[in-house]
Structure 1
């Protein structure tokens, strides 16, 4: 769910639950969430290697992607761009990409310009939601697909995934790796997406190490390596010896490696940034969804919906386990991963209590996807507050 800057209000939660009822699957709020520094009034033009082309003899649709950052971020935008490449390989389409589009009125300008000569537009940041809605109403013949939001229309759909499942598995690796029982989490923004992932990570760690605690520091960034590095160092200075991050840069992982600590990254396989320190982290795989969406539009069968992927359909995955992962943890993770790829797990099953010890989920109760996606409390074991 990301705006990457705002948490859902009660009214928005109601809308979210309503969207789930209609669509039969969830939405979420995901990234991009705050624009990287230096982004300003991007021009609508194809990337250096991708040219926007009119429908050819095969009647291929004209497809465009709006990115919050550069594909070179190594994380969120990188994975969406990998999905774009997969789409091009499978369909022969040459898509337009627009990078570094801030979550501001400038996004509406960019999306509007794209809508004038494209048939399908993927907007890959939660903060683009309202701007996408506005443009969709003006261009009813164009299909708009927005990542992480909860608002839909006849010609606008949403997509996201249950990445908390992978956060739970990442927590298992962290819980077995720590020697101080102190984990650190460099969190982006205080929104449900971060809250449920931090909770899942903590529960995974506690499943193998009941004494573990997770300290949270908010960076209020999605891609600012300097700020994220400083946040990571502050956690290391407090005694955390394993870190996890939820931004688009590898800054936290690299800071941990310099101190001899272990860490995970976010969104994509970040092994290359610090191979000796790397554990694992959730990974997004968007290519098949992009192909399925475009093929449905081409076949005339596309309908607006809220898509929520998982391990089962391959939208969510886990990065390869690093050499630092404990053998016992590795065996447990691989066993659970095999199960999760067959059936969605019930990560949030009661009894669960919050930081104060108050019961939040009764024994035997399993939170619905909608309840997870609107989570606004930390489980016991998380050391940190949720700014309002």
Structure 2
């Protein structure tokens, strides 16, 4: 209800001709307050709903941790905020309601956030998954491709056909990176394994997801993975059709008691609390959060879920050994050579690209079936 109320108030305010937000935060004498200090509220905007069994639910759980850690601060939340100028209006209203810290949690919220951040230098913005920063806007994400690699290892060992399916949204670097990690993990234990990818063109379209899942299963895929915001449809379709699934964003194993293998998920709670505390303390500038922060498997920001009941002990043991090797730094999922679908070397032999290099991914690796939409 808060998001709805905020939007309705904002529509009324913005209907006045010539109304425009002015820069805020200048203290007496013209000195701007440190980003994130002096507010009475913390704002979170979500592109979907808090119960999507996926991306938004993971972020919402993180917002609840912030609410518990800072009981004297009001937590403002707005769900189903589109990746348009509407996001600017929602954030402006949150700032009017006392927010000096805002978490825009969707990739497409970045440009609206940059616009609002420019107008409000005293507000600290923590944007999820972005590739640009500003003086008062940092981005954070995690190397979710690490557990996705492990999910691919698990999937290939459990698959009887060697045909895996992956349902994704749009071809941004992080999406392509997850497909590639899954395939490379599968290939590490079964060189003949393939991953067929379907782009739905949407972060959450259950109808498109069901069509994609059924088409992949009809083509022989016996394990489905995904990079979708809402994960329920793919997992339930796989379960209903008698094939296996790996989850994403949050642990949705309860949806698939027979076919669930494992999942790649976010653990935002401790991170969100630490980012909030950093801003409140006036330490945003110069912190690890005022640029591009990427948490890793070793930081517990990204996690591999528990295994499903059908995964045998030898597979569990092997996957966990691979997980420990990633944590120890003795295994890099994208260690070269890595080739694209046309056989071109994209990562040279012996090279171990860092997160920034990988987040520029614009190709699919060998063994992935399907084309990147233009």
TM-score range, shorter chain: 0.7 to 0.9
Residues 90-131 of structure 1: per-residue CA shift (max 9 Å, x gap): 232441110110111111111111122211010001111111
Task: Report what 2:83 is aligned to.
Answer: 103
**1:275 corresponds to:** 257
Aligned pair 1:178/2:150, yes or no? no
Q: Secondary structure at the match of 2:260?
A: coil
Mapping for residues 147-226 of structure 1, pairs under 5 Å: 147-226=128-207
SS of residue in 1 equivalent to 2:323: helix
2:57 aligned counterpart, secondary structure: helix
Q: 2:272 matched to 1:286?
A: no
Q: TM-score, normalised by structure 1?
A: 0.83
Q: Report the alpha carbon displacement of residue 193 of structure 1 after superposing the two structures with TM.
A: 1.0
Structure 2 residue 278 is matched with structure 1 residue 296: yes
Are 1:366 and 2:368 matched, yes or no? no
Q: Secondary structure at the match of 2:91?
A: helix
Q: CA 1:151 to 1:245, structure 2 compared with 1: closer, same or farther past 3 Å?
A: same
Aligned match for 2:51, one of 55, 61, 72: 72
1:145 corresponds to 2:126: yes
Report what 1:324 is aligned to. Answer: 310
| Residue 238 (str. 1) matches residue 238 (str. 2) | no
Distance 1:306 1:362 in 2: 25
Give the distance between the partners of 1:344 and 1:80, measured in 2 at CA.
31
Structure 2 distance, partners of 1:351, 1:86, is: 41
2: CA distance, partners of 1:213 / 1:380:
9
Offset at 1:349? 0.9
Distance 1:80 1:280 in 2: 20
Q: Secondary structure at the match of 1:236?
A: helix
TM-superposed CA distance for 1:328, in Å, is 2.4
CA–CA separation in structure 2 for the residues paired with 1:232 and 1:184: 8
TM-score with structure 2 setting the length: 0.86
Q: What is the alpha-carbon distance in structure 2 between the residues aligned to residue 294 and residue 205 of structure 1?
A: 38
**Cα distance change, pair 166–387 in 1 and its aligned pair in 2 (3 A):** same
Q: Do residues 124 (structure 1) and 110 (structure 2) align?
A: no
Shift of 1:368: 2.4
**In 1: Cα distance, 2:329 partner to 2:269 partner:** 21
C-alpha distance in structure 2 between counterparts of 1:111 and 1:207, whole Å? 45
Correspondence list, 1:48-59, <5 A = none
Q: 2:244 aligns with which of 250, 254, 262?
A: 262
For the 8 Å contact 1:42–1:101, the answer to whether it is kept is no
User: Which blocks of at least 5 consecutive residues in structure 2 are unaligned?
Assistant: 8-37
Aligned CA RMSD, in angstroms, stands at 1.9
Q: 1:336: which partner in 2? A: 322
Cα gap change, 1:345/1:305 in structure 2, threshold over 3 Å: closer, same or farther? farther
Give the match's secondary structure for 1:276: coil
* Aligned residues of 1:175 and 1:205 also touching (Cα < 8 A): yes
Listed one character per residue, the Cα deviations across residues 11-63 of structure 1 (whole Å, up to 9, x for unaligned) are xxxxxxxxxxxxxxxxxxxxxxxxxxxxxx95427xxxxxxxxxxxxx77410
Match of 1:253 in 2: 235
SS at match of 1:95: strand
Runs of 5+ consecutive residues of structure 1 not aligned to the other structure: 1-40, 46-58
CA shift in 2, pair 1:152/1:358, >3 Å = closer
Distance 1:297 1:358 in 2: 45
Q: Tell me the residue number matched to 2:32.
A: none
Distance 1:135 1:349 in 2: 39
Instruction: Tell me which residue corresponds to 1:30.
Output: none
Deviation at 1:290, TM superposition (A): 1.1
**Separation of aligned partners in 1, 2:307 and 2:206:** 24
